[in-house]
Structure 1
Amino acid sequence: MLVLTRRANESIVIGDDITVTILAVTPSGVRVGIDAPRDTRINRAEIVLAVGDANQQAVQTAGDESAESALLGALRRLSGAS
């Protein structure tokens, strides 16, 4: 893993067509902007994990619950919604 130090308004270039810019740094987190081609998928890691977990659950429950319901449940749990 490459670890870099960047400040607000500084960027990192990945390949020829992706730029990651640090927009703001606050005590609660870092705001990041990503400039990439439209066909490049960019997802938060927790969403990718939630979708993978929902897919696994849908396969295991085979008929008890649809894949859509499993995904919605995983996303609700992730967001803290009831």
Structure 2
Amino acid sequence: MLVLSRQRDESIIVGDNVQITVVDIRGDKVRLGIQAPAHIPVHRKEVFDAIQRENRKAAELSSNDLPKPTTPAPRGE
């Protein structure tokens, strides 16, 4: 793991197009600003982990686990 020291308003660059800036430091909390293209997902680690868990659960489902499709009721005139 690369460990870098940054002060408020200082940044690091990841790849060619992701910039992470230290926006604020208060006590033991650091606020980061992240500039990245829209096609690059950016998540907090705990959110990313939850997404991965849900994706794994969904991949384990069989077609028998899914609700049966229903036929829409005919429209009355």
Q: TM-score, normalised by structure 2?
A: 0.67
2:71 counterpart residue number: none
More helix by share: 1
**Structure 1 segments of 4+ aligned residues over 6 angstroms from their partners:** none
2:23 counterpart residue number: 23
State the Cα distance separating 1:2 from its structure 2 match. Answer: 0.6
State the Cα distance separating 1:57 from its structure 2 match. Answer: 4.8
Which blocks of at least 5 consecutive residues in structure 1 are unaligned? 67-82
1:52 counterpart residue number: 52
Q: TM-score, normalised by structure 1?
A: 0.63
Identity across aligned pairs (percent)?
Answer: 35
Q: How many residues align?
A: 65
The structure with more radius of gyration: 2
Question: Residues 1-82 of structure 1: matches in 2 within 5 Å?
Answer: 1-57=1-57, 59=60, 63=65
